[in-house]
Amino acid sequence: DQQVKQNSPSLSVQEGRISILNCDYTNSMFDYFLWYKKYPAEGPTFLISISSIKDKNEDGRFTVFLNKSAKHLSLHIVPSQPGDSAVYFCAARYTGGFKTIFGAGTRLFVKA
Amino acid sequence: ETGVTQSPTHLIKTRGQQVTLRCSSQSGHNTVSWYQQALGQGPQFIFQYYREEENGRGNFPPRFSGLQFPNYSSELNVNALELDDSALYLCASSLGRGGYEQYFGPGTRLTVT
């Protein structure tokens, strides 16, 4: 059951420009949405989160937007840097806290 | 502060065998979750342990079982291995039953032949 979907397997962006990664979900029982970044041979690293009662959260170059009516969230990276090249996973946590569902990931390439 | 560690790094097993994977959680974290990541997919939730008790389970059969110890380290056991069990197994620790920020280990790559 694909409750969290990342429909773009990959994205290529020029250094300095904005990267926008998208994620859709189907379940209304999630209380937190999260983005993780993964480099090869490493485990995913927590990047940024947003509560289901918010519509925006910002942390430095990273901003996450949540559109509850559309069941859609996006991660904006501005400006993009070559070190941002990685796989980005969107994740959603069930209310109650015990289960987190991950999307399939989007591979971001930032070209110098 | 010690991060999440997992052992072994790689493992090759034969169909029908049993395997045990180990995880040491980040210092101070009392919750451990296990995930299976198949090639090209995101991590899939197997189960979570909080203070030595199973706190929730995903859609995995009973041959996937686990333990959490008093020091909050954890084991994942898989019996009667099948070819489809070949995957990267990730352990993640977090603080408290409701902690949403998880810290992942590097994973154990299991190959079943």
B31-51 pLDDT, tens digit per residue, is 999 999 999 899 999 999 999
Asked if the Cβ–Cβ distance from A43 to B92 is below 8 Å, we say: yes
Residue A27 is classified by DSSP as -
Query: Any CB–CB contact under 8 A between B99 and chain A?
Result: yes
Q: What pLDDT was estimated at residue B1? A: 59
Kindly indicate the confidence band of residue A2, based on its pLDDT and cuts at 50, 70 and 90: confident
Asked if the Cβ–Cβ distance from A34 to B106 is below 8 Å, we say: no
Distance from CA of B14 to the nearest CA of A (A): 24
Q: What pLDDT was estimated at residue A1? A: 60
Instruction: Judge whether residue A8 has pLDDT over 70.
Output: yes
Query: Any CB–CB contact under 8 A between B112 and chain A?
Result: no
d(CA A59, CA A108): 19
Mode of pairing for the β-strands spanning A30-38 and A86-94: antiparallel
Chain B's closest residue to A100, CA to CA, is: B45
d(CA B14, CA B24): 26
Distances (CA, A) of A7 to A13, A21, A22: 17, 10, 8
- State pLDDT tens for residues A17-73: 999 999 999 988 999 999 999 999 899 999 999 999 999 999 999 999 999 999 999
User: Which one, of B69, B64, B62, B17, lies nearest residue B36 by Cα?
Assistant: B64
Query: Any CB–CB contact under 8 A between B41 and chain A?
Result: yes
Mean pLDDT score across all residues of chain B? 94
Chain A's closest residue to B10, CA to CA, is: A41
Query: Any CB–CB contact under 8 A between B3 and chain A?
Result: no
Asked if the Cβ–Cβ distance from B48 to A98 is below 8 Å, we say: yes
Instruction: Judge whether residue A102 has pLDDT over 80.
Output: yes
Instruction: Judge whether residue A97 has pLDDT over 80.
Output: no
Q: Is the separation of the CB atoms in B106 and B93 below 8 Å?
A: no
d(CA B109, CA B56): 24
d(CA B105, CA B113): 25
Q: What pLDDT was estimated at residue A13? A: 98
Greatest Cα pair distance, chain A, in angstroms, is: 43
Kindly indicate the confidence band of residue A77, based on its pLDDT and cuts at 50, 70 and 90: very high
Using an 8 Å CB-CB cutoff, list chain B residues near A89: 42-43
- State pLDDT tens for residues B69-97: 999 999 999 999 999 999 999 999 998 87
Which of B35, B41, B103 minimises the CB distance to A104? B41
Instruction: Judge whether residue A98 has pLDDT over 90.
Output: no
Instruction: Judge whether residue A94 has pLDDT over 80.
Output: yes
Which of A4, A44, A97 minimises the CB distance to B104? A44
Asked if the Cβ–Cβ distance from A93 to B100 is below 8 Å, we say: yes
Asked if the Cβ–Cβ distance from A34 to B100 is below 8 Å, we say: yes
